[in-house]
Amino acid sequence: MLAHHVYFRLNDSHPAAIDSLVADCKKYLRDHSGVIFFAAGKLDPELDRPVNVRDWHVALHVVFDTRESHDVYQASPDHVDFIERNSPTWAEVRVFDSIVSSD
């Protein structure tokens, strides 16, 4: 499996801007072939331990069954539309991809 984790820091940290990006993650990125887990959400302000990284607003977590499914997702029209629609709102995007196993 390939775990694809993306953390977005927005130019505008207003709750409506954050909610809009979460909604677009769900609209454009949820229903792709090979997705076995999908979640998108906001930073929890109550999770504030010294080890927590807190310089982001929206997190996207997608686990794909294979690397190939991930690669198809990257080039899919919905993914491209999501980027074109939302990238002007991003101050920073960090992507963490890893090969994972539940064994």
- Boundaries of every domain in the chain: 2-44+56-99
21-16-76 Cα angle (round to 5): 15
**Contact yes or no for 67/99 (Cβ under 8 A):** yes
pLDDT band at 51 (very low <50, low <70, confident <90, very high): confident
Predicted pLDDT at 48: 87
State which fold the 2-44+56-99 domain adopts.
Answer: Alpha-Beta Plaits (3.30.70)
Radius of gyration for the chain, computed over Cα atoms and rounded to the nearest angstrom: 14
Hey, how many other C-beta atoms are within 10 angstroms of the C-beta on 5? 15
Tell me the average pLDDT across 9-37.
97
